[in-house]
Amino acid sequence: MGSVTNEATDALKAKASVTNEAIDALKAKIRGAVLKPKDPGFDEARRVWNATIDRRPAVIVRCAGTADVIAAVAFARDNGLLLAVRGGGHNIAGSGVCNDGLVVDLSQMKSVRINPATKRAFVEPGATLADFDHEAQAFGLATPLGINSTTGVAGLTLGGGFGWISRKFGTTVDNLVSAEIITADGNWLRVSAAGEHADLFWAIRGGGGNFGVVTLFEFQLHSVGPEIVGGLVVYPLEQAKDVLGKYRELTANMSDDMTVWVVMRPAPPLPFLPAEVHGKPVIVLAACYVGPAEGATRAIEPLRHCGTPYGEHLGPMPFVAWQKAFDPLLTPGQRNYWKSHNFIDLKDGLFDVLIRFAGMLPSPQTEIFIGQMGGQTNRVAADATAYSNRDSNFIMNLHGRWTDASDDDKCTAWARQLFDAATPFAQGSVYVNFLTQDEGDRVKAAYGPNYERLARVKTQYDPQNLFRHNQNIRPSA
């Protein structure tokens, strides 16, 4: 199992080795802030997006720059401390915070610099998707990112990354040009496909935080927006079998300019839905079209005719607004548990499973997401990046979400039972960023044929497994 789920030995080592005097010495080397458990701001700094994660590190280093990262990594290494690396704090497994160890907190390193002439973005690891889009869209530029603007760019990218424009432009790591990284031995390296450390660059494009702390990402940008055409069509859950069947037909030959996701959940209080619909179980088609304006109507119109909708909201809108459309449903501070599958195609039997479980959602916030992949994401060789799931056309995320800890067992059980029922229709692979803290045994499934090569790179750059508080790829030696 990955060490995110088993910290007992590391915690004992941490308690035995860290002293106030040592931390005071660390403070002298840090331009940012060093927080101990009784310091103001400590509890806020240890809090992450998923409220089921409640860990108390021995020290948090809020880095102001690369020098702080180097000092923090060295301190953890030299004092035998468990090391966690936090970017946006959005990881479902809570890998950005640990018990009794040291957290390298990158959240204050939020710079995003755009070069519109070369269509390049230079992004620090504390930036969120909202930070990135705010700067890039000033020039009508974007790169494929996720669907929740509070997500951190760093964690999303290191796990592979995909979003609304991935079918046209590929995964996030397909658009990563270079990176600057601090390795376990404290070295600063600039990595790229043509550089001296091409193997390390290959590994960080999907291999997670296993290989070091990335302090700068360089991305390729594309002309997108500032307006796109998109929105939602909301159908009653009773029509789900027909809607899903037509969705399957529509996506079979869909242009790369168009992406449609499916969401099954209780209807939120959307202004275009009648009040009596709010809270009823629905199936939603969420669409984003980034092609030529003259093709928008032809692309969007079929979504209106998959049944008899409760309501719709389709049309031109700012790309940055669409990137934030799901934010109200994914706010920080709620309890979350996910299970995920990849699919090549969507079978009738899977539809039956999804409809059955969508009819018994354990909380008003729980959702079933089906994200459409394909297009450019499938045209890249499986071994071109560490992210290997290039034959997946759909990624399903079973998103258990609730408020009260008393509902933990009920909501977790629902996700696990649906996951098991859907397993016969799935590929067996999984997107690593969707793995929860109890799924370390699925890490090899996340990387498939690339796992052994990743283990060799891990052995070269982190033989002592300093960066292990993650979905861990163990050194091969």
> Would you kindly state where each structural domain of the chain is located, as residue ranges?
3-105, 112-224+451-461, 227-434
The span from the CA of 143 to the CA of 319, in Å, is: 12
The three-class DSSP label of residue 149 is coil
What gap in Å lies between CA 447 and CA 313, rounded to an integer?
Answer: 38
Q: What is the pTM of this model?
A: 0.94
Sign of the torsion formed by the C-alpha atoms of 196, 201, 203 and 209: positive
Question: How far is it, in rounded angstroms, from Cα 338 to Cα 20?
Answer: 38
Options 3.60.110.10, 3.40.50.1100, 3.40.462.20, 1.10.1760.20; CATH of 227-434: 3.40.462.20
Bridge partner residues of 399 (DSSP): 338, 367
Cα–Cα distance, 239 to 259 (Å, whole number): 21
Amino acid at 274: P
Q: What is the pLDDT of residues 121-155, one digit of tens each?
A: 999 999 999 999 999 999 999 999 999 999 999 99
Q: Which two tokens stand for residue 309?
A: 């909708």
Give the whole-angstrom CA distance, residue 282 versus residue 416.
Answer: 21
With cut-offs at 50, 70 and 90, classify the pLDDT of residue 17.
Answer: low
Query: Under CATH, what is the fold of the domain 112-224+451-461?
Result: 3.30.465
Cis peptide bond prior to 328, omega within 30° of 0: no
pLDDT 10s digits, 323-350: 999 999 999 999 999 999 999 999 999 9
Query: Which CATH fold would you assign to the domain 3-105?
Result: 3.30.43
Strands of 335-343's sheet in order across? 311-318, 227-236, 281-289, 258-266, 367-372, 394-402, 335-343
Please report, rounded to a whole number, the percentage of residues in the chain having pLDDT higher than 70.
96
Cβ-based neighbour number of residue 406 at 10 Å? 8
Element (H, E) at 284: strand 281-289
241: exposed, middle or buried (C-beta count within 10 Å: 0-12, 13-18, 19+)?
Answer: middle
Position 19 scores a pLDDT of 86
